[in-house]
Amino acid sequence: MRIPARDRRERLARAAADLFHQRGYDAVSLRDIAAGAGIPAGAVFYHFPTKAALATAAAEAQLNRAEEILSRAAEGRSPEERLTIIAAGLSAGAPLAARYGCPIQRLARDLANGGEAERAARDICIRAATLLRKSVVAELVAGGVAADRAEAAARDFTARWAGGAVLAFLAGDPAPMTDGIAAALNDLRTLLSGSR
């Protein structure tokens, strides 16, 4: 059965994101990505003319994941509920972070010394992390927290999420990440309750 072109492209992008996360950008070949997607190697170039184009697709997958978390959070009825949904969405990545590290951090780090196309893909990773941080700021401000305090608290939340991912990877255990996010969320709740 022939796979439609759109499905082939999505499968290649997903395989690239997974393999770059698991092995690192430099350790993955286009042939590896084709095999991971279950698609003939020659088809890769039709959809992605360069490895950097696959890096862009992988970075966009991280941005899409952040946007999906925030879309779910938008359904919350209060800033506290929306922050809880954001924290839960980030915590859901802890098992993979324990095995391979944070996918956003890994890809951003791997692409930092690349060419212009790789650096553009890295910028997308940075946008994903920034979008999450700014969303935390917006929820805190919506809950009555002063903008400067909200910004500082959002930076702390982001640092604890990212640091928790590093610790989870080093320990091979998701707990440092999930515990760090939970503690950071409790601090945000305390900040919100103090602003009422």
Closest by Cα among 194, 60, 82, 63 to 137: 82
Q: Could you report the per-residue pLDDT of 12-27, keeping only the tens digit for each?
A: 999 999 999 999 999 9
Point out the least confidently predicted range of 30-44, 93-107, 124-138: 30-44
Structural domains present in the chain: 58-194 (1.10.357.10)
Taking the C-alpha atoms of residue 26 and residue 17, their distance in angstroms, rounded to an integer, is: 13
Give the pLDDT band of residue 2 (cuts 50, 70, 90): low
Rounded mean pLDDT, 66-94: 97
Q: Could you report the per-residue pLDDT of 48-67, keeping only the tens digit for each?
A: 999 999 999 999 999 999 99
What integer pLDDT is reported at residue 162 of this predicted model? Answer: 95
Q: Could you report the per-residue pLDDT of 164-184, keeping only the tens digit for each?
A: 999 999 999 999 999 999 999
Task: Please work out, in degrees rounded to the nearest 5, the angle formed at the alpha carbon of residue 124 by the alpha carbons of 123 and 125.
Answer: 90
